[in-house]
Chain A
Amino acid sequence: MVGNPADAEDLAQEAFLQLFRKIATFRGESAFSTWLHRMTVNVVLMRLRKKSLPTDSLEESLEPDSENSGPKRDVGAPDLRLSGAVDRVNLERSIEKLPPGYRTVFILHDVQGYEHNEIAEIMGCSVGNSKSQLHKARTRLRELLQEEIREQARQERHAAKTQTGPSD
């Protein structure tokens, strides 16, 4: 969620400290793992807010439908399709570029396998909001991966030109 192992270690430690400090407040209304997960997410989001990174509100309602809410297309750009399996490095790099709110929901659902009702409980939002955030996260992630592919293609073309060299 934070994008680098060092921050992840710090926040993991902080999360466990919070756990020990607030263990007495656990009422058993949800699974302990859910409660711990929620505490951890809050610790992370608080750190990200302190860093003034843009965080998407998890409490916002669904955006009103627009006429052009179908798949977006860049005017003039080829419709890139992610062929085969996405490279793990590219995927992780793109996930890191996601806004924290999108990143959280995507990791919880598509990486860790939580259901929307569980995510809603962890994040303190509604199930509908969780689904909306996930769809937006996937859409944004697709765009980032396409940018990554375009950038790599550009670098490959540049490298090929450099190797051949200008003809005199």
Chain B
Amino acid sequence: MQCKDFAAVLEQEGLDPLPLAARSHLAGCSACQNLFADFSVMVSSARKLPAEVDPPERLWVSLRAQMAAEGLIKPSAPAPAEEAAWWQGLSTLFRPRVLVSAGLGLALAVAAFLTIHKTSTYVASNSSAPQVGHVPPPAEPATTPPSAPTAVAPAPVPQVTAHVKSRSNPAAAPSRNFKPAPTADLYEGTPAGLQDPPNVVGTSVEAYASLRENLRVINEVIAECQKHLKKHPNDALAREYLASAYQQKAQLVAAILDSGRSEQ
């Protein structure tokens, strides 16, 4: 085997394994020994070089921008993310409170109805004269319809207000007492499972305070929605939130009015 043949073997077969003939030539040729040794050193050093190098982060940023410019991908929109973040915060504020407010408002409306009904039956059973502004213990609201209830539906607001004014009882506590709102014909029957009047009346005060707090929260939500819509009038989601807030407020107001007090 000649040196050129040995070179041809290296080219075709690589460095390892060498055929027998090539190894025999290698043993007797210093030039080929040097060549073989240098190739081996180069390859072993090259294999230690990093085969893959992670590109810097800026490459991906630049790539994304270029792809967005060519329409290969949809560009990321920071504004929706901002709005989403805003709405996330608003929805986080909004949903639990609205749900709680709605549920609480409904429960309070039922409790107020039951309280009014029970009080009316209690007063009617103890006194023949119609009393308005009945105040059992101090600082407790009282609701006293003039006669036995005959209907279920709550009285409209104007009627309730007028009725309260004309029948105001000087002896009643002025600020925190419920005025008798519904007339007797708005109720019927005696709700089953009524508690004693003082207990029921005490619960109504706390419930009313909670209603007021819920109304305050709803008003804040409405203000935020309106503020946002001033900046983004075409935001459909904001309009949806605002409409829902108004509905919740209407329910709360109705619950408050049913209990004999109006906030607005």
How far apart are B143's CB and chain A's nearest CB, in angstroms? 73
State whether B41 touches A71 (Cβ < 8 A). no
- Of B8, B41, B56, B66, which is in contact with the most chain A CB atoms at under 10 Å from its CB? B41
Shortest Cβ distance from B73 into A: residue: A20
Q: Is A132 an interface residue (CB 8 A)?
A: yes
Please measure, in the bound complex, the distance between the C-alpha atom of A110 and the C-alpha atom of B11, giving whole angstroms.
Answer: 14
Once A91-B42, A92-B49, A110-B47 are accepted as A-B contacts, the answer to whether A71 and B31 lie under 8 Å apart by CB is yes
Q: Is A159 an interface residue (CB 8 A)?
A: no
State whether B42 touches A86 (Cβ < 8 A). yes
Shortest Cβ distance from A65 into B: residue: B4
Please measure, in the bound complex, the distance between the C-alpha atom of A71 and the C-alpha atom of B62, giving whole angstroms.
Answer: 47
Stretch at the interface among A8-16, A43-51, A53-61: A8-16
Give chain B interface residues in 58-102, CB to chain A under 8 Å.
Answer: 58-59, 62-63, 66-67, 70, 72-73
Q: Is B244 an interface residue (CB 8 A)?
A: no
Q: Is B236 an interface residue (CB 8 A)?
A: no
Convert A116-145 into 0s and 1s, putting 1 for each residue whose CB lies closer than 8 angstroms to a CB of B. Answer: 000000000000000110110010011001
Once A65-B8, A67-B4, A70-B6 are accepted as A-B contacts, the answer to whether A9 and B59 lie under 8 Å apart by CB is yes
Number of interface residues of B (CB under 8 A): 38
Give chain A interface residues in 81-128, CB to chain B under 8 Å.
Answer: 81-86, 88, 91-92, 95, 106, 110-113
Q: Is B159 an interface residue (CB 8 A)?
A: no
Shortest Cβ distance from B46 into A: residue: A110
Majority DSSP secondary structure for residues of B touching A:
helix
How far apart are B42's CB and chain A's nearest CB, in angstroms? 6
Please measure, in the bound complex, the distance between the C-alpha atom of A83 and the C-alpha atom of B70, giving whole angstroms.
Answer: 52
Shortest Cβ distance from A13 into B: residue: B63
Which of chain B's residues have a CB closer than 8 A to the CB of A110? Answer: 42-43, 46-47
Which of chain A's residues have a CB closer than 8 A to the CB of B44? Answer: 85
Number of interface residues of A (CB under 8 A): 39
Q: Is B12 an interface residue (CB 8 A)?
A: yes
State whether A91 touches B45 (Cβ < 8 A). yes
State whether A79 touches B66 (Cβ < 8 A). no
List chain A positions with a Cβ less than 8 A from chain B: 9, 12-13, 16-17, 20-21, 65-71, 73, 79, 81-86, 88, 91-92, 95, 106, 110-113, 131-132, 134-135, 138, 141-142, 145
Given A88-B45, A113-B51, list of 6 further CB < 8 A pairs? A17-B67, A20-B67, A68-B4, A69-B8, A86-B42, A138-B43
16 inter-chain pairs at a CB distance below 8 angstroms, sorted by A residue, are: A9-B58, A17-B72, A21-B70, A65-B8, A70-B4, A70-B7, A82-B38, A84-B41, A85-B45, A86-B41, A91-B46, A91-B49, A111-B46, A111-B49, A135-B7, A135-B11
